[in-house]
Amino acid sequence: MQLFVEQTLNGLQLGFTLLMVSAGLTLIFGIMNIINLAHGSLFMVGAFVAADVGGRTGNYAVALLAGTAAAAVVGMFVEFVLIRRLYLRDHLDQVLATFALVLMANEAVQMIWGTRPGGVSTPAFLDRTVTVFPGLPYPAYRLAIIAAGIAAISSLYLLVDRTRIGMWIRAGTTHRELLGAFGVNVRLLYTLVFAIGAGLAGFAGVVASPFLSVESGVGDNFLILSFVVIVVGGIGSLKGAVYGSLLLGLVDTWARTYLPLGFDGFLDASTAATVGASVASASIYVVMIVVLVVKPNGLFGLPDG
Amino acid sequence: MTSLAGGYGPTQVLYDVSVEVGEGEIVGLLGRNGMGKTTTISTMFGLLAPSSGSISFDGAQIAGHRPFQISRRGLSLVPEGRQVFPLLTVQQNLEATVRASVSGDRRWTVGTVFELFPQLADRRQNLGVHLSGGEQQMLAIGRALVMNPRLLVLDEATEGLAPTVRAAIFAVLRILKEQGQSILIVDAYLQKLLTLTDRNVVIEKGRTVWSGTTEDLIASPGVADRYLGVGV
C-alpha cells in the first residue's frame, strides 16, 4: 500500500509536469494549427537558464522566475521570427522548420553553457520530507511540484475561461480568419498564446530539473510524451491535456513499478526487470492506441469538420 | 469602394466592383450566387487582399489594411453562414466583441442586445454550437452590433431561416434603419429586401452592372429580370 501511494504521487507529479508542457503544446496546436517540435527546447531553455541563474544567485525563486521568463521571451522571439511564417504552411513544413530549431537549440545551449551543466537545487524549505501516509515519508519538493502544476493550470484555465483574451483564444480555435473582422489583432494574440505556452514549458523545465540531468536535449523526451498526451486528450482541448497528462503520468509510473514485479513471478529477477521496463515504456502507447480506437479524436477532441 | 478587383490567390473573382454606402443609408448588394458578393465583402474587411482598386471609409484608405484595423474603424460583419463562435456561450460571443464606437458611443451593449433579442437572453449560458439557426443569426447580428459600428455589413441576413424568423430579423433591421444605422446587406429575398433598402448595387461576374435607388430598380423591371433572374 505504501508503494502504491508513493508511486501514485510520483505518477501525479510526472503528470503535472507533463501537463505544463502539453497545455502549451495543445493550445498552440489547437489554436494556431502549428506543430511545434521545438516546444521541448523551451523546456530546456527554462532548465538551463534556471541552472545558470540558480548557480549564480543560489536563490531558487529567482531561478524559477528567470527560467520561466527566458522561455517566454525566447518563445515570443521564435514566434515572431519563424512561426508566424508557418501558419499557412502544411504540417510537414512546420515539422521540418521546428525540428531545425530543436537542433539549433541543442547546439546553442552547449555553446553557451557547455556540456557539463549545473543543476537547480531544491529550495531549502522544501528540501525535506513530509509523512503523507503512515510510514511513508515523501519529498516535500515533489508535492510542491504537484501544487505548482495545479496552480499553473488553474491560472491558465481561468485565463481561457473567464477573460476576454480567453474568449478570443476559444473563438480563434474555430474561426481564426474571421476573428480579425471583429477587431482582434490575431497576430498579436498568437504571439501571446505562444509566449504563454513557452513560459509554461520553461516553468516545467525549471521545476523538473532537480530530478533531471540538465543537458542538451533534456526536453525532447517530454516533448514526445506531450504529443502522446494531446493526442490522447484531444488536440486543442485544455481539459483533454489535463486528463491525458494525469492518465499517462500515472500509467507510466505504475507500469514502471509493477510490471517488473509482475514478471518476477515467472522470470528470473534480472530478466524480469529488463522485460518489465521495456514493456512499461510501451505502456503509454498502449493507452494511446486503446483511446484512439474508442475515440479517434481523443478523449475531449472536437469532431472533425 | 471603387473599381475593386481581387479574388482568392490566383483565382480572380472581382474585376470591377464599385459600391458606395452613405451615412444612415441602407444599400442592398444584389446578384446571383457566385457573382462575387461574399468576395466583395471579404475584400472590404481585409480578409482577402484586393489586387487593385480602392476602398475608402470615412475618408481614409483601408484597402490592404489588416482586418482588425479595418474593423476598428467602425465596420462590423454578420458573416455568411452566421459563424457564431461555437465554443463560447451566447453571452461570451457578445462580450468577446463588445467595444465603443469610434466616437466613443456605447449604445449597443450586451444588455441592449438582449433587449433587442429577448430570445437570446433566455439562452445566454448556452454554447453557440447549441443554438438554432434563427438564434445563431440573432447572435451574429448582436455580435456585430455590440461593436457599435458605423457601417453594419450583413452577408445573407436570413439565409435558410423559417419565414417567421426571417420576418423577425427584418423587423429588427427596420428598427436599426429607423435609428439611422448605415447598413450594407446581402439577402436572397429580394422583395423583402427592397422594402428596406434605399439604394441597390447589382453585381454580375465580379462587375458592378447597375446601381441606383430602390424606386429606380422597381421602376426598371428589366434589371432584376436580367441580372437576378426574378421579377420585382
Please answer whether residues A33 and A87 qualify as being in contact, where contact means their C-beta atoms are separated by less than 8 angstroms: yes
pLDDT recorded at residue B232: 53
Q: For residue A121, give the C-alpha cell.
A: 537545487
CB atoms within 10 A of CB B220: 14
Report d(CA B136, CA B123) in Å as an integer: 11
Global ipTM: 0.87
Residue A305: the pLDDT is 42
Residue A158 vs residues A167, A295, A302, B77: alpha-carbon distances, Å: 11, 27, 21, 29
> What confidence score (pLDDT) does residue B1 get?
66
- What are the pLDDT tens digits along chain A (305 aa)? 888 999 999 999 999 999 999 999 998 988 888 999 999 999 999 999 999 998 888 889 999 999 999 999 999 999 999 999 998 889 999 999 999 999 999 999 999 988 766 667 787 788 888 887 788 889 999 999 999 999 999 999 999 889 999 999 889 888 888 999 999 999 999 999 999 999 999 999 999 988 888 888 889 989 999 999 999 999 888 899 999 999 999 999 999 988 888 887 778 888 888 888 888 889 999 999 999 999 999 998 876 54
Number of neighbours of residue B227 by Cβ within 10 angstroms: 18
Amino acid type, A277:
A
pLDDT score recorded for residue A242? 95
Give the burial string for B137-152 (b: 16+ CB within 10 Å, else e): bbbbbbbbbbbbbbbb
pTM for the whole structure = 0.85
pLDDT at A131: 85
List CB contacts (< 8 A) between A171 and chain B: 85, 87-88, 93, 96
Q: Are B37 and B186 in contact (CB under 8 A)?
A: yes
Task: Quote the pLDDT of residue A272.
Answer: 82
B96–A171 C-beta distance less than 8 A = yes
Q: Tell me which of B55, B97, B143, B153 to substitute to probe the interface with A (most A C-beta atoms closer than 10 Å).
A: B97
pLDDT of residue B79: 93
Q: How far is B57 from chain A, CA to nearest CA, in Å?
A: 15
The per-residue pLDDT for range B110-141, each reduced to its tens digit, is: 999 999 999 999 999 999 889 999 999 999 99
Q: What are the pLDDT tens digits along chain B (232 aa)?
A: 666 777 676 777 887 888 889 888 999 999 888 888 898 899 999 998 888 888 888 888 888 899 999 999 999 999 998 999 998 999 999 999 989 888 888 889 999 999 999 999 999 999 988 999 999 999 999 999 999 999 999 998 888 889 999 999 999 999 999 999 999 999 888 888 889 999 999 988 888 888 888 888 888 877 777 777 665 5
| Backbone φ and ψ of A155, nearest 5° | -60, -45
Predicted local confidence at residue B231, as pLDDT: 56
Which residues of chain A lie closer than 8 angstroms to B96, CB-CB? Answer: 164, 167-168, 171, 182
- Report CB contact under 8 Å: A182, B70: no
pLDDT for position A118: 67
Residues A196, A119, A55, CA angle at the centre, nearest 5°? 90
Minimal-distance CA residue of chain B relative to A173: B87
